[in-house]
Amino acid sequence: MDEQAIIRVDQTVRKWLHADYDLMQKMMHKDLEVSEKTGPRDLVTNVDKASERFLIEKIRTFDPDAKILGEEGFGDCLTSMDGNVWIVDPLDGTMNFVKQRDHFAIMIALYQDGKGVLGYIFDVMNDVLYAGGPAVGVYANDERLTAPNNIPLSEGLFGASGPLVIGNISGMQEIIRHSRGMRIYGSAGIEFIHAFLGKTVGYSSFLKPWDFAAGRILAETLGLVVTKIDGSPLDMLSSNLVLVTTGKAQQDIRTIVNENV
Ligand code: 2AM
Ligand code: CA
Ligand code: CA
Ligand code: CA
């Protein structure tokens, strides 16, 4: 796709996201239908499902030959990253949505033959859409973002998921001890945003493709490094222990992880 084509796709996706935002705003103040997926800490609501149905219907009409992966199962089964692949997390941070009506996001990513083209993380309650990709840069609404400072681990706050910290997976507690402190927000999308803005030096969590597909594109465009915790490349078709950090913190963390295997 040339730059003009990417800009046209971008304008279309932004319209879908704003319509999805309106849908969510209407639904979130009514009674939610909440059910458990794998247990009481893994929920899905009628809003997750409505959002995914809405976005996938838009993508199918716009790009009928594409493959679409959605968390709640309304898309396709993905076996390769060939061609156009859209990855949708219709509501990221469902537990926050249910308990707080805050700190959640809508995420969409477009990959072409495995390369990230456009990524979107919509911070719904702050009404800020983080959007872009390598061809167009990264924007927070209309404001272009610049790369966060390449600070070492020792100079920043580190975002982690609860299970990684509690289980001390891959030396997570040691990683945090080397940082200025730990933050846990309960939404991968919101955590990625904090890394974009330099509010944290990085983030790590065990994530599915829809949790990191958009964040990865935006983070890499901003010069951050997105890998598995051991520094190896991400697998877009399965779960990964994802690490997004500045280049310097990536080196610091790799040293700690190697000492804790
Ligand atoms: P979700 O809300 O879209 O499910 C904190 O739980 C973060 O990790 C959220 O971004 C959440 O995404 C994601 N996550 C990934 N796997 C999860 C799981 N099994 N249970 C709860 N959250 C999960
Ligand atoms: Ca979920
Ligand atoms: Ca998610
Ligand atoms: Ca979700």
Please answer whether residues 79 and 237 qualify as being in contact, where contact means their C-beta atoms are separated by less than 8 angstroms. Answer: yes
Q: How far is the CA of 149 from the centre of ligand 2 (A)?
A: 32
Segment 249-258 shows an average pLDDT of 95
How much is the pLDDT for 230? 93
Quick check: CB of 89 below 6 Å from ligand 1?
yes
Segment 45-51 shows an average pLDDT of 98
Q: Which fold has domain 153-259?
A: D-Maltodextrin-Binding Protein; domain 2 (3.40.190)
Q: How far is the CA of 91 from the centre of ligand 3 (A)?
A: 7
How much is the pLDDT for 21? 98
Rounded to two decimals, the ipTM of the complex is 0.97
Helix (H) or strand (E) holding 86: strand 84-92
> Is pTM beyond 0.90 here?
yes
Q: What percent of the chain has a predicted confidence (pLDDT) above 90?
A: 98
Say whether 33 counts as a known binding-site residue.
no
Is residue 261 predicted with pLDDT exceeding 80?
A: no
Residue type, 53: R
Quick check: CB of 191 below 6 Å from ligand 1?
no
DSSP-derived pairing of the beta strands 181-183 and 202-207: unpaired
Quick check: CB of 208 below 6 Å from ligand 1?
yes
Quick check: CB of 187 below 6 Å from ligand 1?
yes
Give residue 71's Cα distance to chain centre: 12
Tell me how far apart the alpha carbons of residues 146 and 162 are, in angstroms, rounded to a whole number.
29
Looking at 2.60.40.10, 3.65.10.10, 3.30.540.10, 3.30.70.2860, the CATH number of the domain 3-144 comes to 3.30.540.10
Of 201, 1, 210, 200, nearest to 89 by C-alpha is 210
| pLDDT one-digit tens code per residue, 21-40 | 999 999 999 999 999 999 99
How much is the pLDDT for 42? 96
Residues of the chain with CATH 3.30.540.10: 3-144
Locate the ligand 1 atom nearest the alpha carbon of residue 38 and give its number.
19
Quick check: CB of 48 below 6 Å from ligand 1?
no
| pLDDT one-digit tens code per residue, 165-218 | 999 999 999 999 999 999 999 999 999 999 999 999 999 999 999 999 999 999
How much is the pLDDT for 160? 97
Structure tokens, 68: 């679409």
DSSP-assigned beta bridge partners for residue 228? 242
Q: What percent of the chain has a predicted confidence (pLDDT) above 70?
A: 100
15, 46, 109, 126, 212 from 116: Cα distances, Å = 20, 29, 8, 25, 11
> In the structure, what pLDDT confidence band is assigned to residue 155 with cuts at 50, 70 and 90?
very high
Residues of the chain with CATH 3.40.190.80: 153-259
Question: How far is the first Cα of the chain from the last one, in angstroms, to the nearest whole number?
Answer: 42
Tell me how far apart the alpha carbons of residues 152 and 154 are, in angstroms, rounded to a whole number.
5
Say whether 89 counts as a known binding-site residue.
yes
Sign of CA dihedral 68, 184, 123, 39: positive
How much is the pLDDT for 260? 82
Tell me how far apart the alpha carbons of residues 48 and 26 are, in angstroms, rounded to a whole number.
13
How much is the pLDDT for 67? 98
Residue type, 35: S
Helix (H) or strand (E) holding 94: helix 94-100
Locate the ligand 1 atom nearest the alpha carbon of residue 161 and give its number.
5
Say whether 76 counts as a known binding-site residue.
no
> In the structure, what pLDDT confidence band is assigned to residue 17 with cuts at 50, 70 and 90?
very high
